[in-house]
Amino acid sequence: MCHCAVYVCSSSVRQERGRGDVRHCSHVIREVGSAAHSLRSQKKQKMAQFEEVSQKSKLHPKPEGLTLQYGTAGFRTHAKHLDHIMFRMGLLATLRSKKTKSTIGVMVTASHNPEEDNGVKLIDPMGEMVTVVWEGYATQLANAEQDSLLKELKDIIEKEDIDMSEPASVYIGKDTRPSSASLSQAVLDGVSSLGGKTHDYGLVTTPQLHYMVCCCNTHGSYGSPTTEGYYQKLSQAFLQLTQNVPNRTDDQKRLLVDGANGIGALKMREMEPFLRSELQVVLSNDGSSGKLNHMCGADYVKVQQKAPQGMNMGVGERCCSFDGDADRIVYYYTDSKGCFHLLDGDKIATLISTYLKELLTQAGLNLQIAVVQTAYANGSSTRYLEDVMKVAVCCTKTGVKHLHHAAQEYDIGVYFEANGHGTVLFSKAAQKQIQELVKDSNTNDEKKHAVKLLESTVNLINQTVGDAISDMLVIEAVLAIRGMSVQDWDAIYTDLPNRQLKVTVSDRRVIDTTDAERKAVTPEGLQDTIDSLVKKYKNARSFVRPSGTEDVVRVYAEADTHESADSLAHEVSLAVYRLAGGVGDKPKPLH
């Protein structure tokens, strides 16, 4: 209001002067006077706002000396250290909202971390992660000691030239951790102390909150910003994709889902009626008794390469696991010999990109499709995609924001981390071409069928971020349409045996990397040692990097046999321990 009044006044002052009409002088003075008054009251309001921030921040004090970094996926640590971070992220989200004149999201979750941890991620207007510069502000604000919080806040306002009289709107969501309720209250306090409006969605998956933010800022064109709107959009697309698949048996419709004892389980239950038995979900680890992410969930299954506890799997049955905030998914089954088969993010990317490429050919659409991976992608997947599928493959640093940005460069960018976090991005131009072809009355039946499938697939995919529920429905639809079993899918290529280990060092920042994290630049001698160890094995590859979410160095190795992959991973762990300041016990051999 205030802002508008000043604007109108000053423009009318300009007009009056332009005409040189002296009769209006007193009016001009009155206007200028009221503009000055308005500025004064704005200033007063601003000071009152800062006073409120100062008062309220005392209720969310920062433990002196504690410093945290906005890492790969926001702030993440033991929940007891996070109250002040949440309040401050409420402040920052409000500033970001004023700056972008859009709704911003704040999700309280620590994803796949243990239940005692928690964390927070900010969501930008189109549902993407916040920019690197604002990640820097997040760290700056998070680490300001209590008495310099206002100074840091004002510094950001100044640097970004934020108009504090702009309204602000922040959407908030949380996962099922016991600490999430009070931590999300701290976010709400932060937003309200700067006069921002909030919408608290309560318990939602991370990708659901990304979806809500995108719906709001696109004024409903992406969908309706409610959980019901989300279920309706996705289920309609899924039903459209599967409606013409002949003779789907109950076995084919049945899927065992491990909900990681988290939010994904609750939301899957809510969604079930919308799917009208076209997908029959058998849910385990639904949160009714077990602990979040404990011996279950996508991260456990991927890293341990075994089935979660609490799941009653029959031989050959198709199963999947979500992670704690349902933005990751992996599939698996056990064969008749009791052997466990994992279908991770690389297999998902291969299945989806192959399907999309086929549809593009059938529809006669000339759109460029690429797959974006990280260094953790299994070497076999990269080889298959490049040599057999002939799709462009691009490798980025770990962390979905890097993959997301790289995927935006293509007409269709399929991106997945090996751990099962990923989605597909369709450029505006690609979506337009698909929509136009759907409406084109001159297309033949085969083309029409293919392009309609493409259209429904676009609607089924959550393009804002990796989404376990949406990815699961895409995979189920693709398997149904192509008449594939999980075994057929698994047989597309064979993974190279691989192993991931962690090494604790006194300061993981001593490791610096290059070439999409595939080479260590520091400490000196580490990369040479890794290179010479790799040479001892067949089809081998190994790299190390500091984790962005845990205080460890991650070691990855792959080779022609399980024994070789394990042994190489162990030898590289020893090198890290020796050259990068290992602490505690020396890494022990796996066998």
Q: Is 421 in the site for ligand NG1 (CB under 6 A)?
A: yes
Q: Is 72 in the site for ligand NG1 (CB under 6 A)?
A: yes
Q: Is 323 in the site for Zn ion (CB under 5 A)?
A: yes
Which parts of 437-584 are beta strand (E)? 498-503, 512-514, 519-522, 541-546, 553-558
Taking the CA of residue 428 as centre, how many other CA atoms within 13 Å lie in the half-sphere pointing to its CB? 0
Q: Is 327 in the site for Zn ion (CB under 5 A)?
A: yes
Residues numbered 508-567 forming contacts with ligand NG1, rule: CB under 6 A: 547-550, 554
With CB cut-offs between 5 and 8 Å by kind, which of Zn ion, ligand NG1, none does residue 325 bind? Zn ion
With CB cut-offs between 5 and 8 Å by kind, which of Zn ion, ligand NG1, none does residue 310 bind? none
Tell me how many residues contact ligand NG1 (CB under 6 A): 14
Q: Which is nearer to ligand NG1, 297 or 582 (CB)?
A: 297
Nearest approach, Cβ of residue 410 and Zn ion (Å): 24
Whole-number Å distance between alpha carbons of 170 and 97: 7
Taking the CA of residue 337 as centre, how many other CA atoms within 13 Å lie in the half-sphere pointing to its CB? 3
Nearest approach, Cβ of residue 316 and Zn ion (Å): 28
Nearest approach, Cβ of residue 407 and ligand NG1 (Å): 15
Nearest approach, Cβ of residue 146 and ligand NG1 (Å): 29
Nearest approach, Cβ of residue 518 and Zn ion (Å): 24
Whole-number Å distance between alpha carbons of 460 and 55: 46
Whole-number Å distance between alpha carbons of 74 and 92: 13
Q: Is 261 in the site for ligand NG1 (CB under 6 A)?
A: no
Q: Which string of x and - marks every residue 101-120 that binds Zn ion (by CB under 5 A)?
A: ----------x---------
Residue 111: active-site member: yes
With CB cut-offs between 5 and 8 Å by kind, which of ligand NG1, Zn ion, none does residue 419 bind? ligand NG1
- 417 marked as binding residue: yes
Nearest approach, Cβ of residue 329 and Zn ion (Å): 10
Whole-number Å distance between alpha carbons of 389 and 351: 11
Q: Which string of x and - marks every residue 384-403 that binds ligand NG1 (by CB under 6 A)?
A: --------------xx----
With CB cut-offs between 5 and 8 Å by kind, which of ligand NG1, Zn ion, none does residue 548 bind? ligand NG1
Spell out the residues 6+ positions from residue 349 whose beta carbon is closer than 8 angstroms to its own.
371, 373, 381, 385, 414, 415, 416, 422
Active-site position among 57, 111, 353, 573: 111
Residue of 211, 238, 355, 376 that binds ligand NG1 (CB under 6 A): 376
Whole-number Å distance between alpha carbons of 62 and 149: 10
With CB cut-offs between 5 and 8 Å by kind, which of Zn ion, ligand NG1, none does residue 550 bind? ligand NG1
- Rounded to 5°, angle at Cα 335 from 328 and 342: 20
With CB cut-offs between 5 and 8 Å by kind, which of ligand NG1, Zn ion, none does residue 16 bind? none
- Rounded to 5°, angle at Cα 448 from 446 and 452: 120
Nearest approach, Cβ of residue 336 and ligand NG1 (Å): 30
Tell me the sheet residues that pair with 544. Answer: 555
**Alpha-carbon separation of residue 460 from 45, 113, 449 (angstroms):** 46, 28, 17
Q: Which is nearer to ligand NG1, 54 or 72 (CB)?
A: 72
Q: Which is nearer to ligand NG1, 106 or 479 (CB)?
A: 106
Residues numbered 201-220 forming contacts with ligand NG1, rule: CB under 6 A: none
The full length of the chain comes to 591
Whether 480 and 325 have beta carbons less than 8 Å apart is answered as: no
544: tokens are: 């190390």
Residue of 417, 495, 566, 571 that binds ligand NG1 (CB under 6 A): 417
Residue 32, sorted as left (phi over 0), alpha (psi -120 to 50) or beta, turns out to be: alpha
Nearest approach, Cβ of residue 77 and ligand NG1 (Å): 12
Q: Which is nearer to ligand NG1, 548 or 581 (CB)?
A: 548
Question: Which segments of 72-148 does DSSP mark as H helices, in order?
Answer: 83-100, 132-143
From the list 466, 482, 380, the residue with the least C-alpha distance to 422 is: 466
Q: Which is nearer to ligand NG1, 56 or 499 (CB)?
A: 499
Whether 139 and 548 have beta carbons less than 8 Å apart is answered as: no
**Alpha-carbon separation of residue 123 from 114, 318, 350 (angstroms):** 23, 33, 28
With CB cut-offs between 5 and 8 Å by kind, which of ligand NG1, Zn ion, none does residue 267 bind? none
Q: Is 73 in the site for ligand NG1 (CB under 6 A)?
A: yes
Q: Which is nearer to ligand NG1, 98 or 421 (CB)?
A: 421
Nearest approach, Cβ of residue 398 and ligand NG1 (Å): 5
- 323 marked as binding residue: yes
Q: Which is nearer to Zn ion, 397 or 541 (CB)?
A: 397
Spell out the residues 6+ positions from residue 239 whose beta carbon is closer than 8 angstroms to its own.
275, 276, 278
Spell out the residues 6+ positions from residue 96 whose beta carbon is closer than 8 angstroms to its own.
104, 122, 124, 130, 134
Residue of 189, 258, 325, 476 that binds Zn ion (CB under 5 A): 325
Whole-number Å distance between alpha carbons of 574 and 582: 9
166: tokens are: 């702009």
Whole-number Å distance between alpha carbons of 212 and 201: 9
Question: Which segments of 273-427 does DSSP mark as H helices, in order?
Answer: 298-304, 345-363, 379-383, 400-407
Residues numbered 105-134 forming contacts with ligand NG1, rule: CB under 6 A: 111
Q: Which is nearer to ligand NG1, 456 or 500 (CB)?
A: 500
**Alpha-carbon separation of residue 239 from 138, 439, 469 (angstroms):** 41, 20, 14
- 297 marked as binding residue: no
- 554 marked as binding residue: yes
With CB cut-offs between 5 and 8 Å by kind, which of ligand NG1, Zn ion, none does residue 411 bind? none
| Residues acting as catalytic residues | 111
| Binding-site positions for substrate | 417-419, 545-549, 554
| Binding-site positions | 111, 323, 325, 327, 417-419, 545-549, 554
Q: Which residues bind ligand NG1 (CB under 6 A)?
A: 72-73, 111, 376, 398-399, 417, 419, 421, 547-550, 554
Q: Which residues bind Zn ion (CB under 5 A)?
A: 111, 323, 325, 327
| Binding-site positions for Mg(2+) | 111, 323, 325, 327
